[in-house]
Chains A and B, each alone.
Chain A
Amino acid sequence: MMRAIGLGVGLFGLWLALSGYFKPFLLSLGVLSCIATVLIAQRMRLLDRETVPLELPLTLLLYWAWLGREVMKSSIAVSRVILARKMPIAQQLIRVPTTQHTEMGHTIFANSITLTPGTVTVETTDDSYIIHALTDAACDMDGFASMDARAAKVGGA
C-alpha cells in the first residue's frame, strides 16, 4: 500500500513538472491518469522494491556529491592521457572484489565504477567484478574499496 501511494505521488509530481498546468479541470485529469497508472501497475504486480525504491536513504544525495567530485578528478586524469603526445595507455582487465549484498547496492557500486571515466565495469558476479581500466593510475584498489563501503551504506548491505 505504501508503495502504491509512493508511486502515485511520484507520478503526480512528474506530471506537474512536465505539464506546468494548474487549472482544476486539467489537474483532476492528471490525478485520474496517475490513479489509472497505479492501478495498472498493481495489476501487473510491478510494485516492489525495484520499481518503487522507498528504502533509498536521503544520504544518496551526499553520495552523489562525493561521486561528482570523483568523476571530475578522474575525468581530468583521462583528459591528460588523451591530450598527451604519446598516450600513456596501459589497458588491463582487473578483478575488483565487492561486499554488496542487495541488488541496489550492486547497481550503485557497478554504475559508480562505470560513471568515473577511466574504469568500466565489464562483467559482474556476486562477489567480484571485472573492470577495464585505461591506465595504471585508474586501478586504485583503495579507491574501489572506499567506494564499495560508501555504496554499501547507501544501497543497504
Chain B
Amino acid sequence: MHELLGMAADIISIFLFIIGGGFMLIGAIGIIRLPDFWSRLHAAGIIDTVGAELILTGMMFQAGFTQVTVKLILIGLFLFVTSPTSTHALANAAFTAGIMPLGMKRNESDKVLKPAPVRDGVKT
C-alpha cells in the first residue's frame, strides 16, 4: 500500500515536472523570440507563474507530508503574490518612461489618464 502511494506520487510529480518544464522552456523561447519589451512581459509571466508553481507542486509531491512541503508552500505563496507585483511595477515604469508597444493596434490609455501632474520637476 505504502509503495503504491509512493509510485502514484512519483507519477504525479513527473507529470507536473514535464508540464512545468515545458511551459518554462516555451516562456524562455518567447523571451528570445517575441519582438519587443511589452510582448516579452507575457512570456516572462508564463515562466514566473505557471512554470515555477507547477515545478514547486511537483517537488511537494516528492517531499510528502514533511516540513519541506510547508517551506515549498511558503515559497509558492510568496512567488504567487510577488510576481504580479514586480511585473506591474516593470510595466508601469516602462509606460512612464514612454516606451510604447510595437505596432500597437488600439490605444485607450488617454481615456484613463489625465495629464500627469508635475511635482518637484519630476513627472509622477
Direct contact between the two chains A and B in their complex (CB within 8 A): yes
Within 8 A of A (CB), among B85-124: 85, 87-88, 91-92, 95, 101-109, 111-113
Interface size on A, residues (CB 8 A): 37
Docked complex Cα distance between A79 and B95 (Å): 25
Interface residue tally on B, bucketed by range: 35 or more
Docked complex Cα distance between A131 and B41 (Å): 13
Among residues of B, the one whose C-beta sits closest to the C-beta of A79 is B26
Tell me whether A117 and B49 are in contact (CB under 8 A): yes
Among residues of B, the one whose C-beta sits closest to the C-beta of A82 is B30
Among residues of A, the one whose C-beta sits closest to the C-beta of B50 is A75
B60 within 8 A of A: no
| Segment at the B interface, from A23-31, A40-48, A91-99 | A91-99
Cβ–Cβ < 8 Å partners of B74 in chain A: 14, 17-18
Interface string of A81-101 (1 = CB under 8 A from B): 011000101111111000000
Q: Which residues of A contact B (CB under 8 A)?
A: 14, 17-18, 20, 71-72, 75, 78-79, 82-83, 87, 89-95, 110-112, 114-115, 117-118, 120-123, 125, 128-130, 132, 134, 136
Q: Which residues of B contact A (CB under 8 A)?
A: 23, 26-27, 29-30, 33-35, 38-39, 41-43, 45-46, 49-50, 67, 70-71, 74, 80-81, 83-85, 87-88, 91-92, 95, 101-109, 111-113
